Structure 1
Amino acid sequence: MERADTTYVVPPVVRAISLLRHVAAGNRCRNTSHTAKALGINRTTLIRLLATLEAEGIIEQIDEGGGYRLGTGLIALASEALNERSILQVARPFLKRLVDSLNLSAHLGVLEGREIVYLARETPNSHLASTVREGTRLPAHATTIGRILLAELPMASLRSLYAGQTLESFTSKTRTTLAGLEKQLHADRARGMSWSVANFEPEIGSAAVAVHDHQARAVGAINVTGHASIFADDSPHTERIERELKAAARAMSEALGYRGWSADQL
């Protein structure tokens, strides 16, 4: 749908939303005259808005004259909205845009134990298009989606996950010891993404960034894949791949309700 024409904007609704944002910012509206002045609305209108929003459960009064705070009705609405925006639903248009922009295959995957599961893919019209299908499982330690999601785990959880496990080698660049994997994940975490030049498959390169939800959990990751030469250090494409992949993951995370970006990530 196209964004609504401002000709059809309803001023009372705009005022109600402004009031909700005011309350959400921590303003309790104890002094209605001051609140009306801050919002630029009539005091009588403010009182009616407060009464209506309270009646609908969107805001609620705090005991002993403490003013107002957001109510459970609004929290329930927000929860329903977030439930409707599952990571799979949100991901597909972003994957499609990455394919159109970079002419690389793009995937969404989630972590399950020591494996990743691919949930979605988009591919370019190219003989180098990915053959990975939805539902494919691959070892997390050897793949970019797996690595960036493992990098989100606490160190104790990571060591428990791989305690006594053999890390299979797929190419000469695959980390096959827990110490080696930890070092790689530390670098991935510092960069904010994982990068591979034939770490899993010969002649295939890849890069992945985690996607976070409204509770700041890494609920999945997206990646792009193509010929290893495109991802090589001397490739003219690496900067653009990193920039666009991070931007897509950030936009996906925001669509899922995430607001936890630090200043250096924006």
Structure 2
Amino acid sequence: MKEQDSPAKGKPDYIVPGLLRGLSILGLFGYRRPTMRLADIARELNLPRATAFRLVYTLEQEGYLLRIKESGAYSLGPLVLTLGFDYLHSQELVQIAGPLLDGLRDRTGASTHLAVLDRFDVLYIYRAASHERLSSNRHVGSRLPAHVNSIGRAILLAFSDEELNDMYSGVDLRVEGHDEPRDLEVLKRYVAEERERGYVAGSFVPGIAHVAAPVRDASGRAVAGVNVSDYESLPCMQDMHGVLKDEVLATSAEISSRLGHSGHTLRATPPESKRS
């Protein structure tokens, strides 16, 4: 491609304001704010209400936003999810981990999951649902704060205290429905204990048990995490720190090996910017 035909990153002349505003609207939605009203969108982006309406209406008509009739608020539409899932499912990580997580599910009888770190959240990109009548309801596309999630904490095992300081300093760690960790020092203490053990196990949600471990790539970075997560009444959950832990660690090690990991010490890559 000739130089004059290539996009010039950062040059204002090449930026389409309408497209940028539309993308900014989609970026407002997330785990902590799944719905928004038109007035809130206009205020957040400092847009005239009429401009916000036209942008939101266009996104709604194209399937990127969905209007909730009862409240008049908006949520992300099915097209956003479809595009995201198609991308995720085409990636090497899911292709490698999927069959292994299916096998882990079949051996344990519990649901298994794969998730990646996305700034301060974990994003679930694969789920092998339990064949049992009772099953975890964590679906692909779900997002949860990493520090109160088993897979998130498994990924954080690769962070040093200094990296945890850089990532979470000044960030409010309080999450509704979770008593701990509520501050950085408590989080570092939890991570230190779990790092020593090499895996994460316990109950982050009442009635649900988890065992999680990190997944590492060829460079040794923690690029994802896997877990077994399901009702604590399932038989496999009665030996979380024994057989089940061994199964999860073996599966994470096999995925890591297929990604080129040789067994050297892993490190994670902290997010580039703090959550506001």
Superposition deviation, residue 132 in structure 1:
1.4
Deviations 1:6-58 (A, max 9, x none): xxxxxxxxxxxxxxxxxxxxxxxxxxxxxxxxxxxxxxxxxxxxxxxxxxxxx
**Aligned residue number for residue 225 of structure 1:** 229
Partner of 1:90, secondary structure, is helix
Question: Deviation per CA, 1:237-256, whole angstroms, max 9, x where unpaired?
Answer: 54111011000011111111
Unaligned runs of 5+ in 2: 1-89, 266-276
Match of 2:249 among 237, 246, 250: 246
* Distance 1:231-1:212 versus aligned 2 partners, 3 A rule: farther
Equivalent pair of 1:230/1:237 in contact (CA under 8 Å): no
Give a deviation string over 1:177-233, Cα, whole Å, max 9, x none.
111110000011111111122x2x111111110011111111101001112355999
Equivalenced residues, count: 176
Quote how far apart the aligned CAs of 1:168 are.
2.3
How much is the aligned-residue C-alpha RMSD, in angstroms? 2.3
Aligned counterpart in structure 1 of residue 107 of structure 2, from 101, 106, 110:
101
Name structure 1 gaps, 5 residues minimum.
Answer: 1-83
Distance, in Å, in 2 between the alignment partners of 1:85 and 1:248 is: 19
Q: For residue 257 of structure 1, what is the amino acid of its counterpart?
A: G
Aligned match of 1:181 in 160, 181, 187?
A: 187
Alignment partner of 2:257: what SS? helix
- Give the TM-score normalised by the residue count of structure 2: 0.59
The SS at the match of 1:111 is strand
AA paired with 1:223?
N
Which residue of structure 1 aligns with residue 148 of structure 2? 142
- Displacement after TM superposition at 1:261 (Å): 5.0
Distance change >3 Å, CA 170–CA 103, structure 1 → 2: farther
SS of the equivalent of 2:136 reads coil
Report sequence identity in percent: 29
Larger gyration radius, structure 1 or structure 2: 1
CA separation in 2, counterparts of 1:145 and 1:228? 17
The AA in structure 2 aligned to 1:177 is D
Assess if the C-alpha contact under 8 Å between 1:108 and 1:221 holds in 2.
yes
Amino acid at match of 2:254: A
1:207 and 2:211 matched: yes
Q: Map 1:24-103 onto structure 2 (within 5 A).
A: 86-103=92-109
Q: By how many angstroms is 1:154 displaced?
A: 2.6
**Which amino acid is the alignment partner of residue 180 of structure 1?**
V
Contact conserved, 1:111 with 1:146, CA < 8 A, in 2? yes
Q: Distance in 2 between matches of 1:203 and 1:172?
A: 13
